[in-house]
Structure 1
Amino acid sequence: MDVYTPQVWLPHERPSLPGSPSTPLHSDRRRAAYLIVGLIVALTGGLGNALVSVNLPYLQGSLGVYSSEIQWLPAAYVMANVSMNLLLVKFRQQFGLRLFTELFLMLYAAATLAHLFVHGLASAIAVRAASGMSGAALTVLGLYYTLQAFPARHRLKGVVLGVGFAQLALPLARLFSSELLELGEWRGLYWFELGMTLLALGCVLMLKLPPGDRVKAFVKLDFLTFALFAPGVALLSAVLALGRTVWWLESRWLGYSLAASIVLIAAALLVEHNRRAPLLNTRWLSTGSMLRLALSVLLIRVVQSEASGTVGFLQALGLNNDQMQQLWLVVMAGTVAGMVASALTIAPSRIAPSLMLSLAMMAMGAWMDAHATNLTRPANMYVSQFLLAFGGAFFLGPTFISGFGAVIAAPSNLISFSLMFTISQNMGSLLGSALVGTFQVVREKYHSSQLVEHLTLLDPQVAARVQAGGAALGGTLADPATRSAQGVASLGAAATREANILAYNDVFMLICAVALATLAWLTARYFWEQCVVGKASAGPNAQTGMANVSLNNSGLR
């Protein structure tokens, strides 16, 4: 039989889409095994990049590079991750899941192993790019394995868990990355990453996914689109990742890169818009429901960047990662709780309320953090960070499901949806970090100028503070002038610390405002569809952009 000829499936086994596995009946023991492998594979896809992202300052020192150069590592990951999603769907459809799985895991392992013997920025960037390509593959693979663990009536729960497992990578990386650095400095991170990759490879070789349909998918124009789209995304990722570090208006190459990225991405979309069988369905992506979905994911990812602001705030107070371990345990608990709660409550009719609840929780958490002082410590942020972690995990599954039903109804749009969701997630994360960092720098300069303006030695309190700062060094510095200079420096450092605290409070308040604005928009849209459009025109699940019949036909319900 031709490998591209669809097999004959029993009704409960039929794959929902070409390139996805079939869904035969499994024993409880085998279902548990699929769930464990799904967790391992999903964590492998995200943990390597998370370990690097949370340890960039340490890697900068070990590699001996500037702060602007180390930012190429997260940029390289996003470049490769987003670009590969354009081709991976068709790769699975044409060459099958087995080759897809083994090829990308072995590529990831080979690149990580090579980096252990070639120490330099270029090799580190190459490993991050390989990690991005493999991460794009492993995220989908983890979802497929998780879905095998659930019977048809609970498959929506499997979707929520499958897309949520990767969310555990960042809090896990913060919990034990310090120990890895102590064991082998930067090599400790890469040895662990290599071990996870080999573990995932062994798991998928021992427990294979059921077969699926294969179809001839690639055509020549697909590669023209990729040749235009991939460098466009790479340039845009570089601008977002490095803009704050080299500063937006100080480096000409940022402007050239941004202009080139717009031209290349627009050219790729123009090619796709005029194709008879497009790789990217631009007409479908430009519909109101898809644009609203993309915008909501993008805004929520910006809100989730509050976590990077929390780390920066605590570091400005002089705390290191070892002193934040309890906080990351709370964040981990919030992420798990949000993922489990989302899986237990998921239903098509509850998707819009779930998104609104997650935004309300994240807005509350950001508002609580916006009242921090120089006496704030990790213990004071347990509740707020739990709310933010819970809300961030709670929104992801419903958001994914809200758009996937339309893909089930029109399988040709799978690549378009996959790319839109990936871009919204990854670019939203980069954009959020860039906005948070830029806003914090601007506000720190403002508050610093306001504080320093009132510091004069003619003020008795300022003079007393300078004298006290110098007196603390009286046992080591005999020269009064030197002690006075050190007292002035100590006061300046305190002013800078206070300016940073005020700036981070402004960042948290901005994130709260973004969350509330997004919540207001989603709420207004939801009630407009309920009250104005009505059931006759809105359909049974218009607020989610997905019909129940699509879920029934796909076996997700």
Structure 2
Amino acid sequence: MSAGQQPAPAPVSALPAFVPMSWPATLGYIGASVTIGLTQGLAQGFVSTNIPQIAGDLGATQTQATWLMAAFLIPRASMPLLLIKIRTQFGLRRFAEVAILVYFAVSLTAFAVSDLRSAVAVQFFAGMASAPLSTLAFMYMLEPLPPAWKMRLGLPMVLAMVAAGPMLARVISPALMGDHGWDGLHVMALGMAAVSLGLVYALPLTSQPRVKVIAAMDLVSWLLIATGFGGLTVAFVMGSIHWWTDAAWLGWVMALAVVTLTLAVVIELHRKTPLLDIRWLSSPAMLHLTATLLIFRLVLSEQSAGAPRMFQILGVTQDQLVPLFALITLATVLGGLALVPFMKPSRVPLFHLIALALIGAGAWMDSHSTIDTRPAQMMLSQALIAFAGSFFLAPAMMQGLISALARGPAYILSFIIVFLSTQSLGGAMGSGLFSTFINHRQAMHLQVLRESMATADPLTTAAVARNMALLGPQLPDLAARKAQAVALIAQEATNQAYVMAYNDAYFLTFLAAAAALCALVLHLFRDWLAARFWPRPARPAQPQPAQPQPVQTQPAPTSQPEPAK
């Protein structure tokens, strides 16, 4: 498609008229979508994966460095709400060019980071600048595909690629960090941004007609929503680290989030043209979809906040985790591709059943971990969970888009915000709640283990003697040797308590998946019974204003009112 071709006029929020492309151009746009989607995913994964190493480079503690992750996630949940309006008012092509330029500029400024404060500021702007990349990845994937394949092929592909980015970051991070530290990640991020910049200018998107849609109250509502979402993100990212009841500022942050979101809802309910249709979003169907997306995102947090952190506690290095996350990345992509031959709206419940069953099976397998478990033993279980994540996401988004389109193009914005917010906030909430549960259960298990390891216990005495014998060649002093032997026993107890806590969390994930699976089966069984024994009565035909009246020879008397049209 040349830059001078213009599509036929289309409604705002509707897709442009489809113009067939050649195979090279089609592959080029699909390649651009994959590149942009991976650029966005890698930007997030580089930070979350390498917090300990980045903290060392910045001379900060790991707790302080966690603010980098919070700063990156704060704008991610609310920016799409404003970006969709900006795209509609200023045009898709200009939006794409400006968005990728801003991201490239922010990637360049990352080389100027010198301390924690500057790093947090850069990460905040990086999160803001990377928010449009998900939209661009969608647009480039849908641009060359015929209408029949946009939902069937484009949607699963782009969602799988965006989801695979953070996992791929764990695969390539050890090689990039090397001896160069954080600069290696900066170089990779800048290179991806430069490639994406070239692709956006070489392959322009078809623009829709520009319509002025941004009102002053839209900015007010967006600022309130952004403040609320940002407060929730900070609270759930930092809550398990500072502990909820030990840091008073966490309560104030959550209170501020509740107040600002409440004000936003009140304002939107009293607007004639709201930014979000709160009444539709609070309908039973949308509440059910929102709860489904949120619960599923919470369950999938087992993969991001579970196995990697458990292996870190057990002393497994990032290099040793590369094969595991390479398989997880592959399973994520395969989960999206597996949908392509079967993608239909009527099969969405079946896809969800399969995904829940796979997650439950993977979590059940993980719940039998021991202190000797290594990445090789969790290959299959983690691959099942990764496959299920992609297998669920695309059908859920397709179901929501169809529901929104049935009511009109204006409702697409409201649904997209629900979808993206549940994924972004759900990820932060899931990680925070998972870590909180782990810390609570670890403290409980450790207390039980310490009580059982009395000095007079024969097993404890034998373990101390065994460690002293091993330490004999290194520590000739008897008192120092015994103290070191006892310290090793205490460390083993701590590690054992953590493994037991993670097993509890994995088992809880299994129970959540099993409960959701049972609820879905009961829901489908109820619908089948209703259709089988209590069929809905046929709706009476609505009168058509354009059709003539059934009686032409004997018009109705003038004293009778005309039928309502």
Specify if TM > 0.5.
yes
Structure 2: how far apart are the matches of 1:111 and 1:238?
Answer: 22
Cα distance change of structure 1 residues 436 and 448 upon mapping to structure 2, 3 Å threshold: same
Q: In the alignment, does 2:406 pair up with 1:400?
A: no
Q: Distance in 2 between matches of 1:527 and 1:204?
A: 48
Partner amino acid, structure 2, of 1:344: P
Question: Once the two structures are superposed, what CA deviation does each residue of 1:397-427 show, in whole Å capped at 9, x if it has no partner?
Answer: 0011110112223211222112111110011
Name 1:463's counterpart in structure 2: 461
> Which stretch of structure 1 is more off in the superposition, 250-259 or 183-192?
183-192
After superposition, the Cα gap between the structure-2 partners of 1:313 and 1:118, relative to the gap in structure 1 and judged at 3 Å, is closer
Matches of 2:48 and 2:285, distance apart in 1: 33
The residue type equivalent to 2:194 in the other structure is L
457-466 or 186-195: bigger deviation:
457-466
Structure possessing the higher radius of gyration over alpha carbons: 2
Conserved in 1, the CA contact under 8 Å of 2:336 and 2:390? Answer: yes
**How large is the Cα RMSD of the aligned pairs?**
1.9
| Residue 8 of structure 1, CA deviation | 8.8
1:532 aligns with 2:535: no
Matched-pair contact (CA < 8 Å) for 1:363–1:512? yes
Please list, as runs of the form range in 1=range in 2, the aligned pairs for 1:48-197 lying within 5 A after superposition.
48-156=43-151, 157-197=153-193
Matches of 1:274 and 1:76, distance apart in 2: 32
1:115-137 deviations in Å (ceiling 9; x for gaps): 20232222322332223223321
String of CA shifts for 1:33-53, please: whole Å, max 9, x gaps: 111111111111221111111
* SS of the residue 1:81 aligns to: coil
Matches within 5 A, 1:198-347: 198-307=194-303, 308-347=305-344
Number of equivalences = 530
8 Å Cα contact 2:48/2:69 also seen in 1: yes
Assess, with a 3 A threshold, how the Cα gap between structure 1 residues 505 and 460 changes in structure 2: closer, same or farther. same
Distance 2:182 2:148 in 1: 46
Match of 1:383 in 2: 380
1:443 aligned to which of 441, 444, 462: 441
TM-score normalised over the length of structure 2? 0.90
Deviation for aligned residue 1:448 = 0.8
Match of 1:517 in 2: 515
Q: Which amino acid aligns with 1:300?
A: F
Deviations along 1:79-116, one digit per CA (max 9) or x if unpaired, are 21112112111101100012211212111121221120
Q: Indicate the SS of the match to 1:305.
A: helix
* Residue of structure 1 equivalent to 2:563: none
Give the 3 Å change call, closer, same or farther, for CA 364–424 of structure 1 in structure 2. Answer: same
2:425 counterpart of 1:430: no
Of residues 127-136 and 339-348 in structure 1, the stretch that sits farther from structure 2 once superposed is 127-136
| CA pair 20-61 structure 1, distance change in 2 beyond 3 A | farther
Q: Any conservation in 1 of the 2:106–2:129 contact (CA below 8 Å)?
A: no
CA distance in 1, matches of 2:20, 2:10: 13
Q: Which residue of 2 aligns with 1:553?
A: none
User: In the TM superposition, what is the alpha-carbon distance from 1:298 to its structure 2 partner?
Assistant: 0.8
The separation in 2 between residues aligned to 1:216 and 1:434, in whole angstroms, is 40
Q: Is the 8 A contact 2:159 2:390 kept in 1?
A: no
1:364 maps to which of 361, 364, 374: 361
Contact 1:529 1:538 in 2 (8 A): no
State how far apart, in whole Å, the 2-side matches of 1:53 and 1:437 are: 14
482, 485, 504: which one aligns with 1:484: 482
Query: Partners of 1:67 and 1:456 in 2: how far apart?
Result: 33
Distance 1:373 1:182 in 2: 31
How far apart are the structure 1 equivalents of 2:11 and 2:145?
Answer: 15
**CA–CA separation in structure 1 for the residues paired with 2:26 and 2:20:** 9
- Alignment partner, residue 546 of structure 2: none
- Kept in 2: contact 1:364–1:384 (CA 8 A): yes
Distance in 2 separating the partners of 1:39 and 1:21: 21
Q: Who is 2:497 aligned against?
A: 499
Where do 5+ consecutive residues of structure 2 fail to align? Answer: 539-565
Q: Distance in 2 between matches of 1:537 and 1:54?
A: 53
TM superposition outliers: structure 1 runs of 4+ over 6 Å: none
**Aligned equivalents of 1:467 and 1:21: distance in 2?**
76
The C-alpha deviation readout for 1:433-471, integer Å capped at 9, x for no partner, is 111111111111111111111112212221121122122
Give 1:538 shift: 11
The alpha-carbon deviation at position 16 of structure 1 amounts to 6.9
Q: What is the Cα deviation at residue 338 of structure 1?
A: 0.5
Specify the code of the residue in structure 1 equivalent to 2:147.
Answer: A
Q: Does structure 1 retain, via aligned residues, the 8 Å contact 2:236–2:433? A: no
Quote the Cα distance in structure 2 between the aligned partners of 1:183 and 1:375: 30
Deviates most, 374-383 or 391-400: 374-383
Query: Closer, same or farther in 2 for the Cα pair 1:8/1:460, shift >3 Å?
Result: closer
Q: 1:15 to 1:120 in 2, by over 3 A?
A: farther
Gaps of 5+ in 1: 1-6, 540-557
Q: SS of the residue aligned with 1:188? A: helix
Counterparts of 1:282 and 1:74, CA distance in 2:
30
CA contact (8 A) 2:92 2:206 kept: no
